[in-house]
Amino acid sequence: MLRRAGLTLLLLLPTAANAALSGYYDSIEQITAILNSESVAEQLGPWPIVSVEQSATATDAAAQWIIRTQGCSLTVVLTAEPPEDGMTGKTTYRAEPLGTCE
């Protein structure tokens, strides 16, 4: 009985894995960071967005996305901002253009 109670307690404790988002929701978080970035909006200009595509993972594990509009293509690098040490929660992202709109 005591063993079962200990196992139940262990399963209920929060862990970092409990806070991780699925790939789908993490992608939404990344795309939202891109669309909310003022520096990305300045580069893209007034053209409508045609596509948003994850192109690669940079060497420092930052995600790279290509945003295409009717007027140009822009590579955007996302830097992960995980929760503070010891805290649980989702990872958020900071988006920065890599170069200029081509």
Domain-embedded: residue 11? no
> What is the token pair recorded at 63?
């995600």
Range of the domain at 30: 20-98
Domain count, the chain: 1
**Considering the domain boundaries, does residue 4 fall inside one?**
no
Does residue 11 surpass a pLDDT of 60? no
pLDDT in tens, 21-49: 688 999 999 999 999 999 999 999 999 99
Average pLDDT, the chain: 81
Decide if 10 is inside a domain.
no
pLDDT of residue 5: 47
49 within a domain of the structure (yes/no): yes
Residue 2: inside a domain: no
Q: Which residue has the higher pLDDT, 23 or 5?
A: 23
Look at the chain and count its residues: 102
Q: In what order do the strands lie in the sheet with 63-69?
A: 49-57, 63-69, 73-81, 92-98
The answer as to whether 39 is a domain residue is yes
Percent of the chain scoring above 90 in pLDDT: 52
pLDDT of 20 higher than 90: no
Q: Is residue 59 assigned to a domain? A: yes
Lowest-confidence pick of 8-17, 67-76, 88-97: 8-17
